[in-house]
Amino acid sequence: KQPTLGLDWGFKTWKWVRLQKTAEDHPAIDFADCLTVPEEERERIPVLKKYILEKRLEGAPTAVAFLDEDLHIRQLELPKMPKEDLREAIRWQMRDIAEESLENYAVRYSILNEKVLTDIVRLVLLGFAIKTDLIEKKKAFLERIGLRPFFLEPVPVAMAAMVEDLSPTRDTGWAGCVDLGLRHPYFVVLGNGRLFFVRSLPGLANVKLDDPEYPAKLSIELQHALDAFFIAHSKEKIEKIFLAGGGSRQPNLPQQVSQNIAIPTEILNPFQKLEWKGEDPFLFGPALACARLNP
C-alpha cells in the first residue's frame, strides 16, 4: 500500500510531505519539500510533471489542502436535524454567496457546539461552501500532472488539524494559529478539539517581510481578529498563538507579537514529534496534516 502524499497547493509554492513507518511502526518523514511554481497554469504543467517524475511521486495517492477566493466559510446556528437535512439547511442559509443556484456548490460543515434549550436542541457550526466545478478542475489538474487525488479540503481545516495534534486543546486550552501565506493570510481558533473560528487577514496580504512595521501590522490585524472571536464566542482567553507560513520568517516575530497582544506566541513546528532537520518547518503544517490521511 502506497503512503499518502500530502500537498499544500499554494499560490506560488507547493509544499509536499510523505510519511513512512519505521521498523517500530512509528511515523517518520520520508519526503518533505517545497517547489516554487509559475502562476500561469500552462507554464505550471511541465514544471510539475518534471518534478513529480524526478521525485518518483507519479501515481501517489494524494490528499490536498487548498485555499481559494471562491471558498466561503460561515458560522451558523440551526436546529438539530438528520445529516442530509442539515446539509440542505446549510445550503439554504448560505444561498446569498451564489450568483445563481447553490446547487453548483459542495457544502460541508463542522459542528462546534450543541445548545440544549427547553424544547429544542440547536447546533452551532461552521459551514463551508465551494463551487463543485472548481473541485473537479483541481482534481483533473492533479491527475494531469501524474498524481492520484483522493481528498481535498480547505487549508484552514488542515492547519487546524495540525495545531490540534501539536497542542490538544482539550488539555491545553484554546489555541490560535496565524497562517502568514503570501496571498491569503488567515487566523484560526481551536477549542475542545474543534475548529471554532476562521477569519481572513486581508491587511497582511502581500506585506513585505523586510517592512519594519510588519510586526506592528500583524499585531493590529490579529487583535481585530481576536476581538471578533471573543465577541462571537463569549470567550475571554486564548492560551497560545502559533505563527505559520512564509511570513513567519522575520526574526524575533513571535516575541514582538506576544509583547503586543499579551498572548504567548511561538512559531509552529509541525515536525516537533518527528525526526526532521530540514529548513522552514513552519511551511509544512497543512501538508503534514494531509499526509496523515488514508486513501
pLDDT, tens only, 130-180: 888 889 999 999 999 999 999 999 899 999 999 999 999 988 889 999 999
Task: Kindly tell me if the per-residue pLDDT of 271 is higher than 90.
Answer: yes
Query: Where residue 123 falls among pLDDT bands split at 50, 70, 90?
Result: very high
pLDDT at 263: 96
Query: Where residue 80 falls among pLDDT bands split at 50, 70, 90?
Result: very high
Task: Kindly tell me if the per-residue pLDDT of 17 is higher than 90.
Answer: yes
Nearest 5 degrees, angle CA 247-CA 179-CA 171?
A: 130
pLDDT at 23: 67
Residues 6+ apart with CB under 8 A from 113: 123, 124
Least confident span in 66-70, 81-85, 107-111, 219-223: 66-70
Task: Kindly tell me if the per-residue pLDDT of 245 is higher than 80.
Answer: yes
Q: In the chain, what are the domains?
A: 5-67+134-154 (3.30.420.40), 72-130 (3.30.1490), 168-279 (3.30.420.40)
User: What's the mean per-residue pLDDT of the chain?
Assistant: 91
Across 10-19, 23-32, 68-77, 93-102, the highest mean pLDDT is recorded for 10-19
HEC letters along the chain: CCCCEEEEECCCEEEEEEEEECCCCCEEEEEEEEEECCCCHHHHHHHHHHHHHHCCCCCCEEEEEECCCCCEEEEEEEECCCHHHHHHHHHHHCHHHCCCCHHHEEEEEEEEEEEECCCCEEEEEEEEEEEHHHHHHHHHHHHHCCCEEEEEEEHHHHHHHHHHHHCCHHHHCCEEEEECCCCCCEEEEEECCEEEEEEECHHHCCCCCCCCCHHHHHHHHHHHHHHHHHHHHCCCCCCEEEEECHHHHCCCHHHHHHHHHCCCEEECCCCCCCCCCCCCHHHCHHHHHHHCCCC
Q: How do residues 48-68 score in pLDDT, each as one tens digit?
A: 999 999 999 999 999 999 987
Query: Where residue 283 falls among pLDDT bands split at 50, 70, 90?
Result: very high
Specify the higher pLDDT residue, 22 or 233.
233
Mean pLDDT of 268-293: 92
pLDDT at 100: 66
Look up the pTM and report it.
0.89
pLDDT at 209: 78
Q: How do residues 251-263 score in pLDDT, each as one tens digit?
A: 899 999 999 999 9
Q: How do residues 89-107 score in pLDDT, each as one tens digit?
A: 998 999 888 776 778 888 8
